[in-house]
Chains A and B, each alone.
Chain A
């Protein structure tokens, strides 16, 4: 829905006297909103500049978007002519490079799932730390919890009563959502030392890890919660609407 938001922002900022150009990820939305200048790109949602670690490609997208500023009149909606490079095609099928044991489905047994997840999380954590050191960057930190506490905190939501919020400034639903995003980021950062495409990563996380299984189990459980924010997070902001096959 972000393409909708940038479309409207283009109108509002330009009305305020600031020239704009923008990336469009959903062409149909830009056609209807008609922002002043937009470059439609045929990339995955979440990847407006196409692909990580390809500066030349990112620069071509950026230059194409900025070039629209030279148009004499608008609205302008142009198409970027290239698809994002396919990482997979170059390196063959992706498999998780870490030596994690194949997950065993826990079939609704919350205690077993917690144990299996705790083992998996403990095995993954040092790989995350290594990846963070070599990258000198991490996107973890939304919840404010130290990395080693993120897994145990999220898994606690399988139990009743639920844990209380560790932060005075955030309600339980908010801290749960932020910790769940930190958990996903920890897994993806740990395994992307080798290049991987978004589809392969999503398939791995949701189908082959106990963390994916944990979040699906929490969606089911917390959708019944009395806490309205937790219920909302469980229903719409935890597991993607489209899970990989």
Chain B
């Protein structure tokens, strides 16, 4: 459904014309085979753990989601109302596929699931994410993460 040709004209045009950052080069970091990778989820769904602070403004900071988080404790506080939340409300794996990742780890398809995952709120201007993302890269490397799985809504 997220095919632009299925959107009404005005909204499609809006999405096509929205400013996207451009990059002269695309960095490309090599890594081990998938069976040896340690995978962390980086969501932009405005997720946070019950008891932490919800996202209430368009900011570039992130929330930490521990790897042993329970489904009942993961909440979504995105600013936008222009996407479906009913999938997440019925099954968190639609947005945060942690159960599926744990299964891949149990089957040996990936090396392990990271101890910490992270969420931004994706309505923020993309360029504003650079400082937080640089900080996050350091945290991920210290956790031994060799695959960051980036998931939009």
Contact = CB atoms under 8 A, between A and B. Distances in A.
Interface residues of B, number: 86
Q: Range of interface residues on chain A? A: 35 or more
Contacts of B123: 1-2, 5
B84 A142 contact: no
Contact of A45 (B71, B141, B153): B153
Contacts of B153: 2, 25, 45-48
B150 A22 contact: yes
Interface string B9-39: 0010001101011110011111101100101
A138 interface: yes
A16 B2 contact: no
Contact of A14 (B27, B50, B74, B85): B27
Contact of B72 (A63, A138, A242): A138
25 contacts: A2-B44, A5-B120, A6-B152, A7-B21, A9-B150, A12-B137, A20-B147, A22-B150, A27-B4, A36-B28, A36-B29, A43-B2, A44-B87, A49-B93, A50-B94, A58-B97, A66-B34, A66-B39, A69-B31, A139-B89, A177-B56, A178-B77, A198-B86, A242-B8, A242-B82
Given A59-B103, A66-B34, A237-B81, 20 more contacts: A5-B123, A12-B130, A13-B136, A14-B29, A19-B37, A22-B149, A25-B152, A42-B3, A44-B1, A46-B83, A46-B84, A58-B97, A62-B149, A66-B39, A84-B1, A138-B72, A139-B74, A142-B75, A178-B54, A189-B89
